[in-house]
Amino acid sequence: MTVIGCPRAEIASEMRARFAFRPREAWRHAFGWTLQETADRINEAGAGGKGAVAADASLVGKWEKWPGPSGRRPTIAVLAALSEMYECSIDQLLDLDDRKAMPETERRVLTRAMDRSTAANHPEPVSARRLEPTGSQLLHIAAEESANWATWAEATNVGDIAVEQLMANARALSEDYLTGDPAHVFMETRKLRNRTFSLLQGRQHPRQTGDLYVVAGYLCAMLAWMSSDLGQLRYAETHGRTAWLCAELAGHTELSAWVLSTRSKTAFWDGRLRDAISHARCGSARRPQGTVAVLLASQEADAWAELGAIDEARSALARANDAREHIRGEDEIGGLFSCPEARRANYAAAVLTRAGDAHRALEEADHALQSQPAHSYGTSAQIHIARASAFLLLESPDGTADAVAPVLSLAPEHRLEPVMHRMRELSSTVARSCCSRARPAVRLREEIGAWCEATAPRLIALSPDRGSD
C-alpha cells in the first residue's frame, strides 16, 4: 500500500481490518516501526521539552493494548505526542472501547480540542500544549488520575485460590511423574508452566506475584529434571536457569535448594562432575528444611565417587545421614521433589559399590527395596542395578543376573536415560570382570544390549541419536 501511494490513514485502517489491531498499534505498523523505534522517536521529540512524554518499548505496547487487562491508559499528553508523531488527529487513535473506558473529564477535554481542530481529510494534529488542562479542571483531572492509578494498582488477574490450585496441580504432576508416562507428564507440566507464565505477564498483587514465581520455578525445575531423564541435557540446563531466576525473584530458600539439586543432576549426567558438586554444596549452604538437604548431600557423594574421591564421597554420605536425622520441615511439593529413605539408600548403595564395599552396598540396596513406599520406578531400577553391581564385585554372575532381572522387565516408556546409562555401565563392568566369559555374564550383556534399544528417549523422539527440534 505504501508503494502504490496509499495514505497512512488507509494503511492503518487496513491493518485494523485485517489483523484486528488496536488503533494506536495500527498506526505504528502503518509506519513500519517497532515498539522500540516508536519509543525512541517519542523520547527524541520530547527531549528537554516542558511536559515531555518519556517511553520505552514495554510502555508503548501497554498504551496500544489499553483498555485491555494488560494495557495502560495513555494520558492526554501521550495521545497528543502520538498524534504529532503519526501526523494524524487524536480522534484517529481512539475507538469506541477507548472512549468508553476513558474518564469523563478527559473525554470532555478531547471533545473540545477536536471541535477546535480542522475537520479536513488531513486534520492538523492537536499539540500537547493546546490540550493541557488548566484551573480547577487541572485539579480535578489530577485527582482522577490518582484514583485511576489506585484502581490499576489494586487490580489482579489471579486470586489466592487460583494460586493455591496451581501449586496443588504442580504437586499432583510431581507425584504422577514417579509412576506415570514421562512424556505425558512432561506435556501436562509444560501446559501448567505456560499458564503460570501467562498469569505473571498480567497484573497481580506483589505477594501473589511472588507466589506465582514459586509455582513457575518448581514447574521449570520439574521440566529440567524430566528433560535430563529423557536425555536432553542442554534443554534441562535451560529450564534450570529459568527455574533459578524464578527462585531468586521469589526469594524462596526451598525452591532454590531444589533448583540447585536439579542443576546438580544435570551437570552429573553431562559429565561436569565439579559443577555437580558445586551446585549440591551451594544448595546445602542454604540450609533448606525439607528432605532436599538429604538429596543434595547424596548427590555430592555420587559425584565424588564418580571422580574416584572415595574419602570425600564417604564424608558426603555421612552428611546425608546426618541431614536425614535433622529434617526440620515438610517438602513443599513432594513426589519428584522429595527424598524418602529409599532414595537416599539408592545413592548410598551406588557410592559404596564404586568404593568397592560390596557388602555394605547390598545392605543399603536391600534396605532401599524394603522401604515403604517405593519412591519411583526410576529409583527402584537404579537400586536393582546397584545390587547387581555389588554381586558382580562378589564374583557372582548368577546373583548379578537375578538382581538386574526386574530392570530388564521394565516397560520401554519407563527406561529413562539415567537408568540406561547405569545399565550400560553394568554391561561394561561385566565385560571387564573375571567372570566375563561365564554363560550368565554373556547372556546378561546380550540382554542389556537389546534392552537399551527401546528406551523412553527413543520412544518419544527425544533421543540425541535422532535429534529434536
- pLDDT score at 372: 63
Distance CA 106, CA 138 (A): 10
Sign of torsion, CA 307 308 309 315? positive
* Contact status, residue 247 vs residue 239, Cβ threshold 8 Å: no
- pLDDT score at 77: 84
- pLDDT score at 415: 93
- pLDDT score at 457: 83
Distance CA 1, CA 94 (A): 22
**Start-to-end C-alpha separation, the chain:** 37
* Contact status, residue 324 vs residue 341, Cβ threshold 8 Å: yes
Helix (H/G/I), strand (E/B), else coil: 388: helix
Distance CA 126, CA 131 (A): 7
Global confidence as pTM: 0.70
DSSP 199-267: HHTS---HHHHHHHHHHHHHHHHHHHHHHHHTT-HHHHHHHHHHHHHHHHHHT-HHHHHHHHHHHHHHH
DSSP 8-state assignment for residue 25: H
Distance CA 339, CA 375 (A): 8
Distance CA 117, CA 208 (A): 46
Distance CA 376, CA 378 (A): 5
Distance CA 164, CA 327 (A): 25
Residue-wise pLDDT for 441-465, tens only, equals: 899 999 999 999 888 887 765 444 4
Q: Which residues of the chain have pLDDT under 70?
A: 46-52, 113-134, 152, 372-374, 460-469
Residue entry with cell 531468586: 248
Closest to 163 measured CA to CA, from 115, 110, 212, 90: 212
Domain ranges in the chain with CATH number 1.25.40.10:
160-459
- pLDDT score at 153: 72
Q: E strands of 243-398, at which residues?
A: none
Rounded to the nearest 5 percent, the helix, strand and coil shares of the chain are 70, 0, 30
Q: CB-hemisphere CA count at 13 Å for 292?
A: 33
* Contact status, residue 72 vs residue 59, Cβ threshold 8 Å: yes
One of 1.10.3720.10, 3.40.605.10, 3.40.50.10490, 1.25.40.10 is the CATH number of 160-459, namely 1.25.40.10
